[in-house]
Structure formats: C-alpha cells, structure tokens
Structure 1
C-alpha cells in the first residue's frame, strides 16, 4: 500500500515562512587554447643563398586544453534539516516499453519508482503522466504530496520496497492487463521550517496491490490500482 492519507489542517500552525530549495547543477568551466603557430617557410631571395642554408622548421602545435566534463550535483536524501536534493528522475527501461507480460511487469516496477520520486520531491507529474484519472489511489497520492510539501514543508521516508511483481497477462473485459505487486513501505515523516510535524506509520508487513494497465500508442498506462486484503 502506498500512503494515501493526508494531514489535517491541524498541522498548518507549524508552517512558518517560506524556505526555498535550489537544485544546483555544477558545470565545468569553458575550455581555452591559444592560437596554433603556423608553419613558417623560408623565403627565397634574389641573392645567392649561402651554401648549406635550409628552410625554417615548422613550430610544434600547442596541446589543446581538455574540456571539463559537467558534474551533476550530488543526491542528498531528506532529513530533519531539509528536503531531499538533486533526486534523480527514474528512467523507463526499454523492456517497460514492450507490449508483453515482461513489459508490463517492468513497467510496474518503473511506476513505483516514480511514486518514490514523488515522495522525495513533491512532484506528482511523472506519475500523473502515466496514470489515468480513474486511478483513485493515484488521486489520493497527489493530495498527500500537495499537503506534505505545502508552504515549504517537506516529507521524509514513505519509500516503497517492491518485493515481487507478477502478471498472468490475461486481458480483462475492459481491455486492460493486470499485475500484482508485493510491497513494504517506510514510515512517512512530516517536517516544516519550524521543525518536526508528525508521522504516518508505514507498512512493515507485505501488502498486495493490483494494478490494471492498458497499452497505448505511448506505452503502458495505469487505469486502476487497489490494495487487496491479505
């Protein structure tokens, strides 16, 4: 089960001021090099050249300065001091783009990675981009992020640990395919500029969720998600 509850307005009193977070990308400096000297040819003269004279030799070229490789700012997890920084956006694996049993299972893993990304950043858009409005658990998830990151608050934890993903890959009457997942979830802690706000307990006992997804011209798309009774 991923966290779908959200805080009451009782927490709003702990929100003070605004605290912005900047994700900094450090780029290397520009490369620089001097002008390469051109080859110098000996100029002939109308007078007779002295015996044994030779053309001037070509000057060696200056070694070019290597271009520094851009360095991404380091990832920093959330803590009581502040929200996570420089969280990498999960990349969809090629297998998850395939219309197959293995493709659906890989997509489900990718989808839950996007959920974890949202918990760390407060950004629901990656999940929203591959989920329909008919996914009511998704809508509740968006509300959690809206509440947890309102007015410079942030969240820590709530990470989902995917234990298993499987699909029998049988099409439903609605044209969707189902995948079941077995997941654990860490406790979810709320913080704000004034300090600690509260905690929602996670799930230390594995929970089973049923995902239904359809394959479109843009790839897999979640239409429903529900938690099953164990």
Structure 2
C-alpha cells in the first residue's frame, strides 16, 4: 500500500479533509453513529395553595429532592453549533483481542468522529486512534482549527459503515476491515455563519481500515480510500 495526498470530492470524510490514502484494493465494514436527543426530566411543580416553608420536607417522612435535570442536547444547525451533545458510549468489546472487538472499535471510531465534528472535542476519537494514524491526526487538526481557532462549526448526520469484511487477527495483533462508507448530509459554517462546505448523501465502496491491538484496546492505524473515488448517491 502507498499513501498519496490528493483532494477527492466524494464523502465528506475525505472531501472535507482533503486527504486520502490510496489502497491496493478492498470492498466493504459496519458502524452506525447516531446520537439521539435526550428529553430533560420534568421539573418540580408547586402544589396548589399553601405556602409551606421550602426548608420543610413535604409529605410524611420527607422526600428526597429531585436531581438537577441535565441540559437537553441542541443539534447543530445553520444558526450555531451543537450544544450539550452526549459523548458516544464506549463498547466493552474494544478491549477484547477478537475480530468482533476490532469491528466494535471501528464503529466507535466513526461515532467518536461524528461527536468531534459536532463539538470540536477530540478525546473520544483519540481513545481509539493510533498516534501514527495519518488520517486520524488530520481529522483532529481539522476540527480543532475549525472550532478553537476559526470559531466555526460543523453539522452532519454522520457515516455508516456497511458490508464489512474482517480479516483474521494476525500474529502481530492487526486486522484489516474492508467496507462501504455511507455518508449523510453535512455542512460547515464560519464564525459569522457563512456556509463554507455542504454535501448530500453519498456512498463509497472499497474503503479499508487497519487496526492494531495496542496496550489494552483496539486502535485505528489508518484508513485507505480506493484509487477510483466515484461516489454513489
């Protein structure tokens, strides 16, 4: 396999980054990054009538106060970035030296990438990214610049990984996963609200990810895009 720095116009994952790594072949793998809105818990309501001392417990024996409700997540839009967005849950499988563990790590990697796109926060993404991963470092730098330096924001539906084919775990604890990546709508905005980038749903087959079991978990070593980067709608 060799690497090449070139702009491709399909799938925001590669198009926005402006970086692709050429693969020597590949087919298809699976992750589904979907964050859902969390409804805030109902606040306390005051009983009708009466003016009981707030220091006094209500009812016999008193009652514990309800915890403060968590702020409700606000999705990103053309008006501003996402707010109070929940971090993706780390699957236990990423700590297992199995093919299933590697696939779980790749799925989580895409979920964490979406979280980073929406918030600019790289920590979950770094959890399953190798320090030597070229595209990982590019993604982190891209969104750190967008949010921290430029004051802009990104909105996206995220990417699905489909039709995965996982090789067996090698002696040096590496696997290769071939898959199709399906990217949803996305857009990027500058600090003053100007739309910089947009794209619709597309898919690209022949993408390959290599992962390595390092320390106590699976980490993405690199993503490789095929020479023919023609996307399908």
- Residue pairs, 1:26-105, within 5 angstroms: 33=56, 62-105=60-103
- The reply on whether 1:219 has 2:214 as its aligned counterpart is no
Please state how far the C-alpha of 1:190 moved relative to its aligned partner: 2.0
Q: Which residue pairs with 1:191 in the alignment? A: 189
C-alpha change, 1:77 and 1:208, in structure 2 (3 Å) is farther
- The reply on whether 1:155 has 2:154 as its aligned counterpart is yes
Q: Is the 8 A contact 1:4 1:144 kept in 2?
A: no
Distance 1:3 1:211 in 2: 14
Q: Return 192-201 or 73-82, whichever deviates more.
A: 192-201
C-alpha offsets along residues 64-106 of structure 1, whole Å, 9 cap, x if unaligned? 2233034221111111111011111111122232211111111
Q: Which residue pairs with 1:171 in the alignment? A: 170
Query: TM-score normalised to the size of structure 2?
Result: 0.67
C-alpha offsets along residues 15-43 of structure 1, whole Å, 9 cap, x if unaligned? xxxxxxxxxx99x89x9655xxxxxxxxx
- Please identify runs of 4+ aligned residues in structure 1 that moved more than 4 A: 31-34
C-alpha change, 1:193 and 1:111, in structure 2 (3 Å) is closer
Larger Rg: 1
Q: Is the 8 A contact 1:156 1:189 kept in 2?
A: yes
C-alpha RMSD of matched pairs (Å): 3.1
1:135 to 130, 133, 136: 133
Please state how far the C-alpha of 1:158 moved relative to its aligned partner: 6.0
Q: Is the 8 A contact 2:114 2:156 kept in 1?
A: no
C-alpha offsets along residues 121-166 of structure 1, whole Å, 9 cap, x if unaligned? 1112221232123211112212321332233211122621222333
Structure 2 residue runs without a partner (length 5+): 1-10, 19-39, 45-53, 229-233
Partner of 2:225, secondary structure, is strand
Q: Is the 8 A contact 2:179 2:207 kept in 1?
A: yes
Please state how far the C-alpha of 1:6 moved relative to its aligned partner: 5.0
Distance 1:87 1:4 in 2: 24
Q: Is the 8 A contact 1:119 1:158 kept in 2?
A: no
Q: Which residue pairs with 2:119 in the alignment? A: 121
Distance 2:138 2:167 in 1: 28
Q: Is the 8 A contact 1:132 1:223 kept in 2?
A: yes
Instruction: Kindly indicate whether structure 1 or structure 2 has the higher relative contact order, using CA contacts under 8 Å at least 6 residues apart.
Output: 2
Query: TM-score normalised to the size of structure 1?
Result: 0.68
